[in-house]
Chain A
Amino acid sequence: MNAIVDDNAPSMLQRFRQSHFWHSFCIDRVAQISFLVFVAYLIAALLAPFIAPYDPYDPATIDIMNSELPPSWQEEGDSAFWLGTDAQGRDLWSTILFGTRVSLIIGICAVMLQAMLGICIGLVAGYVGGKVDSLLMRMADVQLSFSTMMVAIVVLAVFQATFGTQLYQELAMLMLILVIGIAEWPQYARTVRASVLAEKEKEYVDAARVMGLPALRIMFRHILPNTLSPILVISTVQIANAIISEAALSFLGLGMPVSQPSLGSLISSGFEFIFSGSWWITVIPGLVLVGLVLVMNLLGDWLRDVLNPKLYKG
């Protein structure tokens, strides 16, 4: 007995290193590479102002004479512009870095908004049950019956038409976050509700109720931590989805303005020139976007497998 008593509690780091999670990360090559690539994207996005050789938001540094220069490894390329320039003469590499930043900010913030709404609604629906549950879940059904893109296009188009393009361009990022965030909350609400229904039946919730703990505290301190695994899994996939939605909206001209391009609007702006030979303005940001979404999905898949209680119970 003493032998067990004497050893000190393993620290959080030790626990983590002994966990199934860490172990399966160590043996899964795809997860490691995806994670590394994702971290590279994150660093590039965070440090964009320091990495980028030019400031694409500053019109003073742009020279229209440099427009549509091909990447530097091509014959007509200019060594000053590694990936060439876009139609306005901006350095494509810098613009992509800043665009990735914009895309990631929109993706992450929109998903945070979705998660906040969805988790609260899902927790309440699952925990309270009955009529509240029916009402909230029917709302979710209604929301899901409109496709995200349709809602976004209608809202953004109406906003643009009523308040004018000028204001729209100023608020574009906020509007995109709001629209994508609000349109997709049922994903979270349904997932959370399902887990809450399963957790609610367990006796530790009864024990907390017998203690007299208030419902909110039971929901957020006892039930929510036990529903985090599925939330984590859908979050990765939802960020990828949000980035795609943003890119699609930008491509349709309802997203970020040309002066502050995201990856989507960059692809869109290059699309006019793709048949005149300037393929790089579209293709390179396109590859960057595909890479980002791909690693997020791979990470999500891996997380789903690791955290699946049917495969591993812990």
Chain B
Amino acid sequence: MQNTETLLQIRDLYKRFSISGDLLDQLQFKGGKLTRHQEFVHAINGVSLDIAKGEALCVVGESGCGKSTVARTVMGLLNPSSGTISYEGKRIDDLSAQALMPYRKKMQMIFQNPYASLNPRMTINETLSEPVSFHNPSWNKGEVRDKVHEVMFSVGVDPSWGVRFPHEFSGGQRQRISIARALAVDPEFIVADEPISALDVSIQAQVLNLMMDAQEQRDLTYMFITHDLSVVEHFGSRVAVMYLGTLCELATSEQLFDSPRHPYTKALLSAIPKLQDDRPNHIKLQGEVPTPVNLPTGCVFHGRCPHADKRCQEEIPKLIATDSGSQVACHAIEEGRI
């Protein structure tokens, strides 16, 4: 990845959501004084990532670790609390809707739930032609229709089905249509937010292969959010492991599966069920994921980490490059303790 150019750059991204309601709910009487009290969910805590052109970066992690929030922030559906997102070297997180328009064409998103991601009152033709005609206002009807037919054909949906409504399709077909909608504006970069987790296992492979074919044919870059590690092995060129809104480890997928470094990654990989397992030696982590409302100090993983020491409780670890080429955020690895 040294010799390829960076497409998307995320630097020190933070995102927190207020959970204290509006101003009236935040006011509290404490010791005779009226004070304003706010609580936040810290969804992303200092994530830095580079996505190179042409790669498929998988972001994995358990539920609630901020994977989807990263995806939605990258797409501009959420505003970051701090930090920057740059696309081809240009900062895009602070642009107005108008200035963002050229990037809307280059960046597209595929959603998790195929049952909710298509407008139930629009036919497939309407759904697909809307982005095409919106981003190419000079095209006439015939050109728009040709483009719609082309993308429908490329995702394996017969163009003559375009007059139908989403409820007439199965989940897998709808997800293909969602992919077609994303492809319709000829994007360079696609964020896929768990695109196959709502699908049947037999359909998952089809949709994955479809996405990989599209990557080959259209020279796409993916940011692929998933919690399914077997998909990562199949699909991703690099993997970012997230825990509680922070990045633990960033490595190529071979490296990650061969030699995971971060204690959390090790535990995560050991949890993959294997066929020969009759006595699985899972690494059992103690305790539970801490609440993102009151983040632990230091390394967010220290409460459950078998290697944690005093430094882990106090200092937030930075991502450092290891000798094997992967990047890990762990004091114990930095100090050579593990």
A residues adjacent to B (C-beta < 8 A) = 1, 4-5, 9, 134, 202-204, 206-214, 222, 225-226, 314
Contact = CB atoms under 8 A, between A and B. Distances in A.
Contacts of B337: none
Given A5-B158, A134-B22, A206-B77, A211 B164 contact: no
B127 to A, nearest CB: 8
Q: Which 5 A-B pairs have the closest CB atoms?
A: A212-B104, A9-B163, A203-B117, A203-B111, A225-B121
- Main secondary structure on A side of the interface with B: helix
Contacts of A208: 119
A206 B97 contact: no
Interface of B: 22, 72, 75-77, 97, 100-101, 104-105, 107-109, 111-113, 116-122, 130-131, 134-135, 158, 160-161, 163-164, 167, 178, 181, 185
A38 to B, nearest CB: 26
A216 B19 CA distance: 28
A202 B255 CA distance: 37
B100 A203 contact: no
B119 A211 contact: no
Given A5-B158, A203-B113, A204-B117, A212 B97 contact: yes
A222 B163 contact: no
A5 B113 CA distance: 26
B130 A211 contact: yes
Given A212-B100, A212-B104, A213-B134, A207 B158 contact: no
Contact of B77 (A210, A213, A214, A226): A210
20 contacts: A1-B158, A5-B160, A9-B163, A134-B22, A203-B116, A204-B117, A206-B77, A206-B111, A208-B119, A209-B77, A210-B75, A210-B76, A210-B108, A211-B134, A212-B100, A212-B104, A214-B97, A222-B122, A225-B119, A225-B122
B222 to A, nearest CB: 15
A211 B117 contact: no
Contacts of B108: 210
Nearest to B164: A9
B120 A210 contact: no
A206 B109 contact: yes
A226 B104 contact: no
A1 to B, nearest CB: 8
Nearest to A212: B104
A206 B105 CA distance: 15
B111 A212 contact: no
Nearest to B75: A210
A157 to B, nearest CB: 38
Contacts of A202: 116-117
A212 B101 contact: yes
Contact of B121 (A9, A206, A210, A226): A226
B181 A207 contact: yes
Contacts of A9: 160, 163-164
Given A202-B117, A210-B75, A212-B100, 18 more contacts: A5-B158, A5-B160, A5-B161, A9-B160, A9-B164, A202-B116, A203-B117, A204-B116, A204-B117, A204-B119, A206-B117, A208-B119, A210-B104, A211-B134, A211-B185, A212-B105, A214-B97, A226-B120
Nearest to A207: B117
A19 to B, nearest CB: 11
A27 B109 CA distance: 44
B101 A204 contact: no
B133 to A, nearest CB: 11
B119 A222 contact: yes
A204 B105 CA distance: 17
Nearest to B125: A9
Contacts of B122: 222, 225
Nearest to A7: B160
Contacts of A4: 158, 161
